[in-house]
Amino acid sequence: MKRGFVGRLEEIRENLSRLFAGRIRVRSLPSRWAKVASLTPVRRDTINVERLDNRQNTPVMRSLAAEWRHIHPRRMNLALAGSVKIRSAPLEVHPPLTKGSLSFGISPTIKNATERMKFLPQVRGNRVRYLKERPFVEGSGLIALFSPIIKDALLREVLERERGVLFIWYDVSSDAALPYMLALFRRLDVSQGDIFSWRWLPGA
Amino acid sequence: MNPQKGLALGYLRLIEERNLFQGAALVTDLRGIPLDFRYTEPISPTRLERILYGDALHVYIREEVILENLLKAVEVKPSLWICNDRELLKFLKEHVACPSIFLESTSYSPLDAVGEMAPQPESGAYLVQADPISAPLKLIVPVDTGEDAVKSVVSILIEAAASMEILEPFARIKRALEAVAAGEMTE
C-alpha cells in the first residue's frame, strides 16, 4: 500500500514532467512528505470534515488522495460542500521557467556524396524492341542495342547477362559528348567459339 | 567542362519504408555524369512526433524536412528538376526557380516522331517521345503551366535523351542510398 501510493505519485510526477516538456520543474516529494502521504487512511466512508480539528485534518485530507479511487465523486462533493468554505482568489500566471530554448521540429542530416556517386556506373537497357529498322550485318543477328553511350568518355562497360543490361563507367573529366549506340550481334554462321560481336553505331 | 551548354538535370527521389523517410537529390550533366549529390540520413519520427504532428507529419517530413533542406544544400542548380512523385510538384513549383516536372516510364508503343506530345486526360499530363528508340515518357507539369513552358521542358528532355537515359538516374540514386545504408559509400 505504502509503496503503491508513492509509486503512483512518482508516476504522476513523470507524466507532468513530460506534459510540460521541461517548461516547469516537477519535483519528487521530499521523503518526509512521502512518509505522511503514505499513512493508512483513517476512514473509508463519507468524510465529515466539520468534526475534524487541525490535528486530525491533516492526515484525513492527505488520506483523501490515498482513497481517491475508492470514494465516489458525488459523496465526496457532498461532504466537502457542507463543511469546507471555498474562497476565490485571483489566479496568478507566471511565465514558464525555461533554461535554454525549446526547439520543435525534425532536423535532417544532409550528406554530400558527389565524389562517391561519380564511381557508380550508369545502366543502359536493351532497346532493340523499339527499333523500327534493325541494322543489318551479314551473317549476324542483332540481339541487343544499348543507347545512348558517349563512346569517347567510356572507361569500362560490363554486360550483365541475367538482366540483359549494360553497366557503363565514364571518365568524368572527359569533355566528349557525341552519343553512340552499342550493338551486340550473334554470328549465325557459327555455333560455338566466339559467336558474339560488339559494334559501335552512330547515335540515334 | 559540361559539353552541353551548361544544362543540368536535377533528380529528386524520396523513399518511405515503414516509419523511415529518406530523400536524395542528384544533379547530372546531360551525359548523366553527377555534378552534385546530396542525401538525408534516414528519418524516423518518434511516437511523440507522430502524435504532435498527426496527419500533417507525412507532408511535413517530406516537404519541409527533406525536400526543403535538400534543395538548400544542392550547390549546382539544375535547369530542370525531375521527380518521380507527382505530389511533390506543387511544393517544387513554389520553392524552386527552374521548371519542375514529374516523369515516369510507360509501356506504350513509341509515338511517331521525336518531340511528339500526346495530351492525357489527367490535368497537365502528356506522353512525350523524347528519343526515337524508347517508349514515350509520361510527363506531368504543375497545374497552370503554360504551353510555352511545357514546350521548353520538352526541348530540354529531347536534348538530354540524345546523350543519356533520362530516367536512369532515379535507379542510380536508389543504388547509392542502398550502398550508403550498407556502409559501402561514405565521403
Do A59 and A10 fall into the same domain? yes
Give a yes or no: residue A57 inside a domain.
Answer: yes
Q: Check B179 against A120: CB less than 8 A apart.
A: yes
Using a CB-CB distance cutoff of 8 angstroms, which residues of chain B are in contact with residue A202?
none
Give a yes or no: residue A109 inside a domain.
Answer: no
Q: Check A123 against B172: CB less than 8 A apart.
A: yes
Distance CA A10, CA A4 (A): 10
- Residue among A113, A127, A175 minimizing CB distance to B39: A113
Do A131 and A77 fall into the same domain? no
Q: How many domains does chain A have?
A: 2
More confident residue, B105 or A55: B105
Do A135 and A69 fall into the same domain? no
Owner of C-alpha cell 547530372: B28
pLDDT score for A20: 65
Q: Give residue A9's domain range.
A: 2-83
Of all residues in chain B, the one with the smallest CA distance to A115 is: B187
Does CATH place domain B8-181 in 3.40.50.300? Answer: no
What ipTM was predicted for this assembly?
0.90
- List, run by run, the mean pLDDT of 10-residue segments along chain A (204 residues): 67 72 58 47 48 46 47 44 55 56 70 94 96 81 95 96 95 95 90 87 86
pLDDT score for B36: 97
**A79: which residues sit within 8 A by CB, 6+ positions away?**
A46, A47, A48, A49
Radius of gyration of chain A (CA): 42
Distance CA B45, CA A145 (A): 46
What mean pLDDT comes out for the span B120-133? 96
CB < 8 Å & 24+ apart, contacts of A57-61: none
Where do the structural domains in chain B lie, given as residue ranges?
8-181
Q: Is B80 helix (H, G, I), strand (E, B) or coil?
A: strand
pLDDT score for A80: 45
- Residue among A117, A132, A177 minimizing CB distance to B176: A117
Instruction: Determine contact: A94 vs chain B, CB below 8 A.
Output: no
- Residue among A108, A130, A176 minimizing CB distance to B43: A108
| CA diameter of chain A | 117
The 10s digit of each residue's pLDDT in B10-57 is: 999 999 988 899 999 999 999 999 999 999 999 999 888 889 888 889
